[in-house]
Structure 1
Amino acid sequence: MFKKHAIALSVTAVLFSSQNALAQEVEAQAASAEEVEQSAAEEKNVERIIVTGVTRNTHKMEATFSINTITEEDMKVLAPHGAADLLGNIPGFFPEGGTAGESHNNVLVRGLPQAGGYRYVPNLIDGLPMYEEPEAPFMNNDVFIKPDLMTTAVEAVKGGPGGVLYSNALGAAVNYVTRTGTQDFKGAYKLEVGDWGHVRNDFFVAGPINDNLTYALGGFYRVADGIRDPGYTGNNGGQLRGNLLYVSDDGSTEVKVQAHVINDKTNFYQNIPYSVTNNREPGTADNPFEVSPSDVNNLGVDFGDGTVLSHQTSYYELYNPDGSQLILDISDGIEPKFNIFTLEVSKDFANQWRLDAAVRSTSGSNGFYSLFNDPPTERAQLEAEQFSRIQSFDGLIGDAYSQAVGVKAFYSDTVAGVDLSGAERADSILAHNIPVYGLVDATSNVADVRMSRYFEFSEQSHELTFGLYTSHYTYDVQSVFASAWSNISESSRLVDLYAVDENDQQVGPSITEGGVDQPALFGLGADATMRTNALYVLDHISLMDDRLQIDIGGRYQELDVDRVTTNSFDPGNQANDFTPSDVIVGSTEDTLADNFVNVPDGTPRFASESYDDFGWTIGANYRLTDTITTYLSYADSFRLPGFEDYIFGGPATNPSTGEIARGDLVEDIKQYEGGIRFADKRYELSASAFYIDFAAKENLGPALDDLTDTGANGVSCASVPAPVNCAKVRDSFRTSLENFGIELEGSYSPSWFEGFKLQGSVVWQDPEQGQDSAVRNGIIETDTDGDNVNDTRSYDISTSQDRRPRRQSEWLVNLRPSYAFADLPLTVYGQFMYYSERFAADGDTNVTIYPEYTQINAGAIYSVSDNMDFQLHVSNLNDADSFTEGSSVTQGLQFSNGDYKGVARPLLGRTIKASLTINF
């Protein structure tokens, strides 16, 4: 770590040592260049053009809806670790700190309740999705989104015409604008190093080929150990993309072709085990339990930069459905490999018609190789549970364990043969790891064709647009979730379990192999083909000498699904015994790990399903003065079902009755918003208020024993132990959300403090859920007579009624001050981000709060010359502590000393990176 910091400091010293030699030249150029640059920037702020949520380029001040922009200069100063980190600078967005790493994060927007991913926030590049479904399991939207020097702006539309022009933009649509060439040649190269073994190279070149044809080419390549260093190179790869733009002599025709290749690999960070001293009962709705980082024990892994991933815990031998070996190498991380090709055509006709057509083809695969964590377990408890388990066996396996006096856990790398007397016992607290293998093969072919007509009617002007959108996409996935054991440290070691005799000699088959006790807890398999078609219309009307702008439009969309699924947790599937034929059952060469393997080998389920909905919007913008506008919008939008709904979420069969339950999977939202915008050469401010009325999809509770029924031998299903063959019950329920909120965003450069600038946003929201019925979500066993033996079973019933959605803050503050020195080519900047407390879950039992936090980022940019900049950036300067997600504190999750245990995903700790950018 010292060497990494020393490198960054050395580079800084060398560059700053050139200041004296360059001082006179820089000073002479700085004043005039700064004046020109500042004047251009100020003018650009007032006249900023947007391309998202509109059918023709529009001034941001005149938008009839909520629009936020991040400029190329903003991205330079923000220096994000990835797309989610960048999106956290859009008011109303909460990306959970980018705590999963560079990709596969969760991005929440305006309080909408979701499990994770990008469900309500499709991310687009140049107005088209890279893949139609924004929240595909094992392939979140951000595996395609990797901002680099080819990205010139990011624009986010919330409400308004976003749901008319784009698929599934129920909460928001984010558009990344790509650089194209001009008749002036230019380019840049950027070298970036970070103190987590990070080295990244970015570049772009752009310019003319002839008077009509220009080009742009760029991308990045990066290697890094990872902020949470697993002991190997966790991030490795990048992307390359380029485009050719043809513009006719008269400017009426534009044709752009673009190719984009992604071949990348990034670490995926998951929850870390922890414990909390038991100084009070678990929380309730009236008295929540607040998990304060200062009271949390990390059990061996540092919350800022630690991980339970290591060389040992990154490699597992799992199984395919046919019993063949399936190798899981978690060092491959999140591994997208895609080829994307795009064609865009625009044509203005002489009679005021305009054609805009865009076609995109995406094909490739995404690997999802990760290590999830369940709450930790005490070794003694695990050994006792496994000993009780082997004592229940009969037949060959039961006989093999007849001489066992117990089960012991040893470090796998210390075991040699059946004599375990010299092997090292594992730590007293162990991590329960869930290795996950996921591989998605996917294609997506999208076309968006618009015909627009400009005409004038009376004292009005109209730009009427008719659009046809179609997408044909496929999703083929194989996944396996396993169970394994290790210690909890930053060089975690695998742990294996053995039955032993009095002399610590192995008895019978090993209970685990390679740290794995179950090579497949369950698996998900699907092969699906989807087709979605949409018709939309949007009329942009100008009135009152262009002082009043009105947008009104609607979208009808349908979705057809043909799918085949094999999910190993579906009723009727049995565990597989994959013991090799050359292994003697019950011998010490045998293992229980291959006796109960739940890979997705069930009978394939074929289904064809269709969904559709209609949404519409109306909005207006009125220019009060040259620098003040006000707007008001209403949008009734929808989201059609995604893969987790119609592939992995249902329909569900009641094992007792055979009844197939299926809820309403189409989600709807009504958004009301009004605001006012101010813009001048020295300030820009947008203030808005919104109200959301959201209806989520219908959900199904888990299949549980019917406690009013009787099972085998007439024993009540409410008794402990539970009898077999209890009938099952399953609840269905639907949640809703109402949210009031205020968003302030702006920038200010005071004349009385030249060089100073303050940018940022403040968001307050009050999201509150509703639920049409409570749900039985589990069964609790209770000791009613005080003999320390549970004797009754009852339902754990909860509702999210009147609760704030999980992991959603009421306050989100993001302030970014900067100061450009007058006598030095140096700009210093900072960022203060505040997020108020969040609930770990949104049920009404075991109410747990993860605390508020303030994170500070800071940096400096030094202009070595007109064409060379050096930047030093520190993220989480104050080493803020908190958790963005995690388990709730519950009575059932406790160690023997009474301490609560759980898992949570903490903020990434302090990081330092430096970059050198050369423009030419």
Structure 2
Amino acid sequence: MKLRYLLLAFCSNAIVYPALAQSGSDTPKPASTAQVPEKEVFSTGVAKGRDRLDSATSTSAFRASEFEKLGPRPLGDLLRTMPGLRVESGIGEGNANYTVRGLPLAAGGSKYMQFQEDGLPVLEFGDIFNVAVDVFMRPDFNIAAIESIRGGSGSTFSSNAPGGVINLISKTGDTRGGAVQFTTGLDYGEKRIDMDYGQPLGNGWRFHVGGYYRAGEGPRDIGFTGYKGGQFRFNVTKQFANGYVRVSGKWLDDRSPTFAPYPIRITGTNDKPVISNVGNFDIRRDSLLSPFIGPVTTLDGDNKLARYDVANGMHAKSKSIGLEAQFEIAGFTISERARYSANSGDFLRIFPSNVGPIATIAASQAGAGATATYASGPNIGQVVPVGANGNGLLAFSYMAQTRARSLDNFTNDIRATRVWKIGKGDLTVTGGLYKANQKLYAQWLHSGIDTDVAGDGQTKMVNVTSAGGVAQTQEGYYTFSRNGSKFRRIFDVSYDILAPYGSVNYHVGKLSIGGSVRYDRGRVRGSLVGADLGGGRVGLTRFDINGNGVISAPETRVAFLPLDAPAPVNYNYGYWSYSSGINFRVAEPFSVFARYSHGARANADKILFTPAVSTITGGVTDPADKDDGVTQLEGGFKFRKAGATLNVTAFRATAEDHNVLNGSANQTIRSYRATGVEMEGSYRRGIFSITAGATYTTAKITRDQLDPTLTGKEPRHQPAWTLEATPQIELRRVTLGANVVTITSSYAQDSNLLKMPGFTVVNAFVVVKPIDRVRVMLNATNLFDQVGFFEFNQSEVPANGIGWGRSINGRTVSLSAKLDF
């Protein structure tokens, strides 16, 4: 608790102090900070790149020279260090949860913010079930910067982005050079190589190539190679006198484990819970994954027996080709961006549904007097002892195998901009047309298993037998389904989007006034297959899984897809987005701004398999179900002078949300309101520099249509404060620094009973340059090995003291050696 308040004071001073800094001639300009350098153009989510102090938007940029100091890390861990963003990571390489200053985290992924690479979306929807957009994105040496725009014109210059845009901008070979870096985990299993190179070729040609490859167990003990794969990217540019043409490509084939909520002890009170490890299971570095789990045994999308290796984990594949061009023609700046991506993969989550003492779990499945024996591992066939692993627990978990057969995406964005002299000012007019198609063809396949709860990658599957000797499991499987017949589904849907947009901005003297508008029209066609669609469709069936000619108890609990009874999906949608703002440059280093925006987000797979979509016609009766709107009012000031920056934005946002927390059984239809302030600043003097950010938010559920008792409650996982700071000392040959992130407490569920404690994570780095062009870097994530939770599955302190939650990873230390050439 003390560390949290010290950080709050530290960030407040770091943010406020730059505004008081004097502009003496001995103060050096920042060579490289996490903020946009002085007078640098910001281009994401706006009509035309311009100086931040002349734009009525709230934006940030994170340069490669800074985020590379944090070491090779998942995208979610990097974005946690950016102001205004709220990120729930700790789940693995992808599928983290993202939102922006007060907008709700009602379910996984990124609903309100769009993720882009070089100005085009990676997926049209960032919160597709089990396959969020970040599973197809990897930060590496190809990235020059990560830009974010929060609110503002992001809603009118991108579809499905009412909360803003996060854009990864690639290097393009403007200067000759590259690097190769080798990284090894010192206290965890991972080896990684990164490389990139680019250069001008003459006659207007230039290129850049880069990528990475890694393999290892990863930051948690799982007992097998969980991380394996890599990425390769390239671009080639031809520069002309009046513009350029660029071709780019990407190949990604990378697998990594997914970490789920794991067993913990929760005691104390709802307001002040006491969280501790269960015996011999460290929530920071253990998991329920092990070589003794699996394979995932289930019927596939054709109702044929299939087995999938647990080591496949989160296996993302993406192949893309893109074209970008920009030319000055007859006073117009015409830009064209197009990209086709073939995306697919297999995504496995193994998460507990029930955890308790061995006798309790066994009795719940096989009655009083049931026994538990090992179904895998070195003690196979032996009785599981009462105090097994020092905790005496069993877990019944679901193996959720999502097969994304196609998430192919095509996007084309063409726009034209011209600046006219009108009176003493400049009138900038932009018009554009956005065309996109997003395919969603995915199969949900589930099974349920019993396991013990063991650390060090030693979890084993368990069989349960009744007192009368009747087996209720088969090789550790209790069911080859989930919740009876539910959650066995096929989505085969295509989203076709057309969106014209335009903007006008008038800049005269110190004043800039502008507005933009966009109309999104969507055409949704396809079909659904699922046992939970009703209409007499097949649910459970009997299937001889092991082929011995005898149907066991779990073989009567096999989910079967009604392939001959699909339900149609056939509807259109349309919505308007608009934004207007005013900016006044009070003085060279200081400006004030205000902006009002309204945008929306089309509801994609989150309304499928719900009453919103008719299983007879495929239509959507209530137009309110088709999209969710976000309205934001923001205003603030920006200051930049002599190595110091300070940006402060107050905001008020309202949002609608049609969602599902865990399938159709937990549908939500809500409205939210949030108010607060976000602050970011940087300061550099001599060898010392610091960047810092703070976001204060107060939020409420203003209406819950399905559960009125939640109206007026605070949304789950909504901390009042999110704070980050990165102080550094840069000497000639050594750079020392740390990134510190704090989130304060929040409610585990919308019922506002059980609180998740806040926590602070310190990530430290040391960069040594023993000789020119060689750098050796030591990184420590979670330096002080703190425990912190992004998720509790319980809504209040459990009576038996056993719960499960998703924790940050424990301390990991890596060593890197980098050669620039």
TM-score, normalized by the shorter chain, greater than 0.5: yes
Match of 1:909 in 2: 810
How many angstroms apart in 2 are the aligned matches of 1:331 and 1:732?
32
CA shift in 2, pair 1:36/1:681, >3 Å: closer
User: 1:312-711, aligned counterparts within 5 Å?
Assistant: 312-320=292-300, 323-349=303-329, 351-388=330-367, 407-413=370-376, 423-424=383-384, 427=388, 428-440=392-404, 441-490=406-455, 491-499=458-466, 501=468, 506-507=469-470, 510-521=471-482, 522-544=487-509, 547-571=510-534, 572=536, 573-579=538-544, 583-585=548-550, 590-601=551-562, 603-645=565-607, 647-651=608-612, 664-697=625-658
Asked whether 1:179 is paired with 2:171, we answer yes
Aligned match for 1:270, one of 255, 260, 263: 260
Q: Equivalent residue of 1:270, what SS?
A: coil
How many angstroms apart in 1 are the aligned matches of 2:379 and 2:747?
47
Asked whether 1:838 is paired with 2:746, we answer yes
Measured after TM superposition, the shift of residue 163 of structure 1 is: 0.4
Match of 1:866 in 2: 772
Measured after TM superposition, the shift of residue 54 of structure 1 is: 2.1
Asked whether 1:758 is paired with 2:690, we answer yes
Aligned match for 1:83, one of 75, 94, 102: 75
User: 1:716-755, aligned counterparts within 5 Å?
Assistant: 734-750=669-685, 754-755=686-687
Q: Equivalent residue of 1:73, what SS?
A: helix
Which residue identity does 2:474 align to in structure 1?
E
How many angstroms apart in 2 are the aligned matches of 1:457 and 1:497?
81
How many angstroms apart in 2 are the aligned matches of 1:702 and 1:240?
35
Which residue identity does 1:368 align to in structure 2?
F
Q: Deviations over 1:514-534 (max 9, x none)?
A: 211111123121111110110
How many angstroms apart in 1 are the aligned matches of 2:83 and 2:370?
54
CA shift in 2, pair 1:665/1:313, >3 Å: same
How many angstroms apart in 2 are the aligned matches of 1:257 and 1:916?
31
Match of 1:12 in 2: none
CA shift in 2, pair 1:701/1:812, >3 Å: closer
Percent identical pairs in the alignment equals 23
How many angstroms apart in 1 are the aligned matches of 2:661 and 2:450?
31
Q: Equivalent residue of 1:864, what SS?
A: coil
How many angstroms apart in 1 are the aligned matches of 2:138 and 2:667?
39
CA shift in 2, pair 1:446/1:39, >3 Å: closer
In 1, are the aligned partners of 2:115 and 2:123 still within 8 Å (CA)?
no
Match of 1:213 in 2: 205
Q: Deviations over 1:654-702 (max 9, x none)?
A: 99xxx99996231111111111111123211111111112222388999
Measured after TM superposition, the shift of residue 459 of structure 1 is: 2.2
In 1, are the aligned partners of 2:350 and 2:397 still within 8 Å (CA)?
yes
How many angstroms apart in 2 are the aligned matches of 1:346 and 1:653?
44
How many angstroms apart in 1 are the aligned matches of 2:429 and 2:758?
47
Which residue identity does 2:306 align to in structure 1?
L
Give TM-score scaled by structure 2 length.
0.90
Size of the aligned set, in residue pairs, is: 776
Match of 1:49 in 2: 41
Which residue identity does 1:408 align to in structure 2?
T
Q: Deviations over 1:79-126 (max 9, x none)?
A: 362111111122121212x20112111113212222121111211011
Q: Equivalent residue of 1:134, what SS?
A: coil
Match of 2:181 in 1: 190
Q: Deviations over 1:418-448 (max 9, x none)?
A: xx7x655574420111111111122111100
Match of 2:153 in 1: 161
Which residue identity does 2:264 align to in structure 1?
Y
CA shift in 2, pair 1:229/1:467, >3 Å: same
How many angstroms apart in 2 are the aligned matches of 1:210 and 1:648?
56
In 2, are the aligned partners of 1:675 and 1:689 still within 8 Å (CA)?
yes
How many angstroms apart in 2 are the aligned matches of 1:699 and 1:867?
51
Which residue identity does 1:886 align to in structure 2?
F
Match of 1:716 in 2: none
CA shift in 2, pair 1:306/1:675, >3 Å: same
CA shift in 2, pair 1:673/1:663, >3 Å: closer
Q: Deviations over 1:365-398 (max 9, x none)?
A: 121022111230332223333334xxxxxxxxxx
Match of 1:778 in 2: none
Which residue identity does 2:721 align to in structure 1?
W
How many angstroms apart in 2 are the aligned matches of 1:366 and 1:450?
33
User: 1:98-247, aligned counterparts within 5 Å?
Assistant: 98-113=89-104, 114-182=106-174, 184-194=175-185, 195-247=187-239
Measured after TM superposition, the shift of residue 549 of structure 1 is: 2.2
Match of 2:14 in 1: none
Measured after TM superposition, the shift of residue 51 of structure 1 is: 1.5
How many angstroms apart in 2 are the aligned matches of 1:841 and 1:321?
34
Asked whether 1:812 is paired with 2:713, we answer no
Which residue identity does 1:599 align to in structure 2?
F
Which residue identity does 1:497 align to in structure 2?
V
Which residue identity does 2:626 align to in structure 1?
L
In 2, are the aligned partners of 1:330 and 1:371 still within 8 Å (CA)?
no
| Higher CA-based Rg | 1
User: 1:289-328, aligned counterparts within 5 Å?
Assistant: 289-293=271-275, 296-320=276-300, 323-328=303-308
Q: Equivalent residue of 1:331, what SS?
A: helix
Match of 1:857 in 2: 763
Q: Equivalent residue of 1:382, what SS?
A: helix
How many angstroms apart in 1 are the aligned matches of 2:744 and 2:819?
40
Measured after TM superposition, the shift of residue 168 of structure 1 is: 1.0
How many angstroms apart in 2 are the aligned matches of 1:378 and 1:666?
45
Q: Equivalent residue of 2:407, what SS?
A: strand
In 2, are the aligned partners of 1:651 and 1:660 still within 8 Å (CA)?
yes
Q: Equivalent residue of 2:364, what SS?
A: helix
Q: Equivalent residue of 1:468, what SS?
A: strand
CA shift in 2, pair 1:416/1:181, >3 Å: closer
Q: Deviations over 1:345-364 (max 9, x none)?
A: 11111x21121111100113
How many angstroms apart in 2 are the aligned matches of 1:736 and 1:416?
53
How many angstroms apart in 2 are the aligned matches of 1:435 and 1:206?
44
Q: Deviations over 1:760-804 (max 9, x none)?
A: 1111111112115462xxxxxxxxxxxxxxxxxxxxxx6322222
Q: Deviations over 1:122-177 (max 9, x none)?
A: 11011101221211123211012211111001111111110000111121210111
Which residue identity does 1:575 align to in structure 2?
L
Measured after TM superposition, the shift of residue 600 of structure 1 is: 3.0
Q: Deviations over 1:283-332 (max 9, x none)?
A: xxxxx443333xx3424421111101101124232113654212132211
| Cα RMSD after superposing both structures | 2.7
Higher relative contact order (CA 8 A, sep 6+): 2
CA shift in 2, pair 1:774/1:423, >3 Å: closer
Residue segments in structure 2 that go unaligned for 5+ positions in a row = 1-25
